[in-house]
């Protein structure tokens, strides 16, 4: 069972007559006796507890030894410390072993590194070098405040219809037409971010057992949405033009997948843009193989050098492509507004499932998104954001040249957020991840996107400040040099 999350920070009274280790013991005991940490719960590590309490590790050890002496917790080497009893006397015979329930759950847990990243991203002093969202200073706070301050009678706070707000779907259809995609509001479903779209597709459109194919590496490997639905994900090799069609054909022949998931424009994590020729060839192959596509296009408008190629969906006259869009990258992730453009029978099916799971996305968020498009904020903000990202990209490339020009490899992205840094194969990115985490620096290791990318790091120029990235890359290079010296000795 995974370690529970604890309040940040724990409250200690250093002027109190009760010793610090006793205060820690009492707070841990309260967590257990109240049922927040039931029998079977794995406690946070001693190092983590020491950080949260702001004390030496030996103080935490003393508190845990007291609890262990009463039979409340027990630990073993490598397995951590677990709650084994919730009372001060005999073992609670009626205590529910929630750990067995947790382990039996159908949804697969995240990879350990992903769980560590998710936890670390909410630590206020952590430098986030690979986060896939705009930094706070890039969010359009003024525009959103203006929209809310001028809310009119169209602001609806009840449940929206299954497909989402008609006004927003109309705006999405207009937005899609500007990209060459012909659709009506009836073929649009509003979702709470593109990730929910993938969840709906996984449970609503694919048989069990089955599989899908996707680029390797790929964002889809860093989430467990398809795997938890009993669907395997097989990787397709890439080159600088995008998906290698020979690799795709091999996977189709071998696995007969139910669909293809692709990020053709500013791929996550590599930043690759699929060439126009490769797009045409891919569409032809998928049409001949009757293989439907999910086109994840959330980075499309983040072009920095030249306008992005038209979406695959723009050439889809057969209804073979499920198109995903989102405001998370261009506006703010917190609004949780995304959309699927697909044939109407698909939209009806997914809308039904969405109503069964959350009864519709936030009406307030949909109102803000509607006004965002209708009042011209979107285009204005996109232009400003692209200008900011161009400056940030240039500065990060300069930092990479300074610190890694003699050692690592990378390509200059033409848009999106990411630079895919490749280190020498004898450098352990896994080791670097943990060493940097201890120093308050969070990197996104390549192996969370593909096991074969164990020597890569995804860097982002969209979130951390340049000062933070300068400091982080300096520390990264020093640690790399230390590892190189160890390898040579």
Same-domain status, 226 and 308: yes
Same-domain status, 343 and 397: no
Q: Say if residue 54's pLDDT is above 50.
A: yes
pLDDT of residue 86: 64
Q: Beta partners for 444?
A: 458
Q: Specify whether the backbone of 85 is left (phi greater than 0), alpha (psi in -120 to 50) or beta.
A: beta
Task: Write down which residue in 328, 347, 375 finishes a domain.
Answer: 375
| CA dist., res. 169 & res. 370, Å (int) | 8
Task: Write down which residue in 345, 375, 405 finishes a domain.
Answer: 375
Q: Say if residue 7's pLDDT is above 60.
A: no
Q: Is 116 exposed, middle or buried (0-12, 13-18, 19+ CB in 10 A)?
A: middle
Question: Across 154-163, 260-269, 424-433, which has the greatest mean pLDDT?
Answer: 260-269
Task: Judge contact between 248 and 201, C-beta under 8 A.
Answer: no
Does residue 113 form part of some domain?
no
Torsional sign, CA 334, 336, 337, 338? positive
| Tokens 């390549």, residue located | 446
| pLDDT tens, position by position, 328-366 | 999 999 999 999 999 999 999 999 999 999 998 998 999
| CA dist., res. 420 & res. 237, Å (int) | 16
| CA dist., res. 458 & res. 218, Å (int) | 11
pLDDT of residue 489: 65
Q: What is the DSSP string of 167-228?
A: HHHHHHHHHHHHTT----GGGEEEESSHHHHHHHHHHHT--SSEEEEEESS-GGGGS-TTGG
Same-domain status, 361 and 388: no
Question: Mean pLDDT over residues 125-145, rounded?
Answer: 96
Q: What is the CATH number of the domain that holds 50?
A: 1.10.10.10
- Total count of domains within the chain: 3
| CA dist., res. 405 & res. 384, Å (int) | 30
| CA dist., res. 173 & res. 163, Å (int) | 13
pLDDT confidence bin for 385, thresholds 50/70/90: very high
Same-domain status, 459 and 332: no
Question: Mean pLDDT over residues 131-148, rounded?
Answer: 95
Same-domain status, 441 and 292: no
Does residue 292 form part of some domain?
yes
Same-domain status, 43 and 168: no
Q: Say if residue 92's pLDDT is above 60.
A: no
Task: Write down which residue in 375, 398, 422 finishes a domain.
Answer: 375
Q: Which letter does DSSP use for residue 42 in this model?
A: B
Q: Say if residue 325's pLDDT is above 50.
A: yes
| CA dist., res. 323 & res. 345, Å (int) | 14
User: Taking CA 462 as the corner, what is the angle to CA 456 and CA 465, rounded to the nearest 5 degrees?
Assistant: 100
Q: What is the CATH number of the domain that holds 482?
A: 3.90.1150.10
C-alpha pair distances (Å), 209 with each of 202, 230, 294: 11, 6, 19
pLDDT of residue 91: 45
pLDDT of residue 15: 82
**CA torsion angle for 196, 333, 264, 163 (degrees, to 10)?**
40
Q: What is the CATH number of the domain that holds 348?
A: 3.40.640.10
Does residue 393 form part of some domain?
yes
Give pTM, 2 decimals.
0.84
Does residue 12 form part of some domain?
no
Question: Mean pLDDT over residues 90-109, rounded?
Answer: 69
Does residue 82 form part of some domain?
yes
Helix (H, G, I), strand (E, B) or coil at 294: strand
Same-domain status, 337 and 450: no
Q: Say if residue 16's pLDDT is above 60.
A: yes
Helix (H, G, I), strand (E, B) or coil at 420: strand
| pLDDT tens, position by position, 150-209 | 887 777 777 889 999 999 999 999 999 999 999 999 999 999 999 999 999 999 999 988
Question: Mean pLDDT over residues 6-26, rounded?
Answer: 78
pLDDT of residue 263: 98
Nearest 5°: phi and psi at 113?
A: -65, -35
Does residue 199 form part of some domain?
yes
pLDDT of residue 100: 75
pLDDT of residue 87: 63
Same-domain status, 311 and 326: yes
In this predicted model, which residue has the larger pLDDT, 289 or 71?
A: 289
Range of the domain at 353: 140-375
pLDDT of residue 302: 97
Q: Say if residue 89's pLDDT is above 50.
A: no
Q: Which letter does DSSP use for residue 333 in this model?
A: G
Does residue 251 form part of some domain?
yes
Instruction: State the CB neighbour count (10 A cutoff) for residue 276.
Output: 11
Same-domain status, 56 and 75: yes
Same-domain status, 252 and 332: yes
Percent of the chain scored above 70 by pLDDT?
A: 95
Same-domain status, 29 and 88: yes
Same-domain status, 391 and 357: no
pLDDT of residue 103: 76
Does residue 322 form part of some domain?
yes
């Amino acid at each position: 069972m995974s370690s529970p999350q604890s309040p940040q920070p724990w409250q200690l009274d250093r002027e109190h007559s009760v010793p610090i280790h006793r205060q820690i013991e009492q707070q841990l005991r309260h967590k257990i006796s109240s049922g927040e940490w039931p029998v079977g719960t794995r406690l946070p590590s001693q190092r983590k507890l020491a950080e949260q309490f702001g004390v030496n590790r030996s103080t935490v050890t003393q508190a845990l030894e007291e609890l262990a002496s009463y039979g409340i917790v027990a630990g073993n080497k490598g397995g951590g410390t677990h709650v084994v009893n919730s009372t001060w006397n005999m073992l609670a015979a009626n205590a529910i072993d929630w750990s067995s329930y947790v382990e039996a759950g159908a949804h697969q847990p995240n990879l350990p590194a992903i769980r560590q990243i998710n936890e670390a991203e909410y630590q206020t002093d952590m430098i986030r070098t690979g986060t896939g969202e705009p930094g706070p200073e890039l969010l359009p706070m003024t525009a959103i405040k203006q929209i809310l301050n001028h809310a009119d009678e169209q602001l609806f706070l009840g449940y929206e219809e299954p497909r989402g707000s008609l006004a927003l779907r109309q705006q999405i259809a207009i937005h899609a037409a500007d990209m060459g995609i012909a659709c009506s509001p009836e073929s649009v479903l509003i979702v709470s971010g593109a990730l929910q779209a993938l969840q709906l597709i996984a449970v609503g459109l694919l048989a069990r057992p089955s599989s899908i194919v996707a680029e390797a590496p790929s964002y889809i490997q860093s989430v467990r949405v398809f795997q938890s639905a009993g669907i395997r994900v097989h990787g397709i090799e890439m080159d600088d033009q995008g998906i290698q069609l020979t690799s795709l054909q091999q996977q189709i022949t071998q696995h007969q997948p139910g669909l293809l998931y692709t990020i053709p424009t500013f791929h996550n994590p590599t930043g690759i843009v699929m060439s126009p020729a490769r797009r045409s060839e891919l569409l032809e192959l998928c049409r001949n193989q009757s293989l439907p596509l999910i086109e994840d296009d959330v980075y499309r408008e983040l072009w920095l050098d030249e306008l992005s190629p038209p979406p695959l969906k723009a050439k889809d006259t057969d209804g073979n492509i499920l198109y995903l869009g989102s405001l998370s990258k261009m506006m703010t992730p917190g609004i949780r507004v995304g959309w699927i453009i697909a044939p109407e029978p698909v939209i009806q099916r997914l809308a039904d499932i969405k109503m069964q799971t959350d009864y519709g996305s936030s009406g307030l968020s949909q109102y803000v998104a509607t006004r965002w498009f209708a009042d011209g904020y979107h285009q204005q903000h996109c232009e400003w954001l692209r200008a900011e990202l161009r400056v940030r990209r240039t500065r990060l490339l300069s930092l990479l040249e300074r610190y890694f020009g003699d050692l690592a490899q990378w390509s200059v992205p033409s848009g999106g957020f990411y630079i895919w840094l490749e280190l020498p194969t004898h450098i352990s990115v896994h080791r670097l991840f943990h060493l940097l985490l201890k120093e308050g620096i969070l990197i996104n290791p390549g192996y969370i996107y593909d096991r074969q990318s164990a020597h890569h790091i995804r860097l982002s120029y969209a979130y951390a400040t340049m000062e933070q990235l300068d400091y982080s890359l300096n520390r990264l290079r020093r640690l790399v040099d230390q590892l190189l010296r160890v390898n040579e000795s």
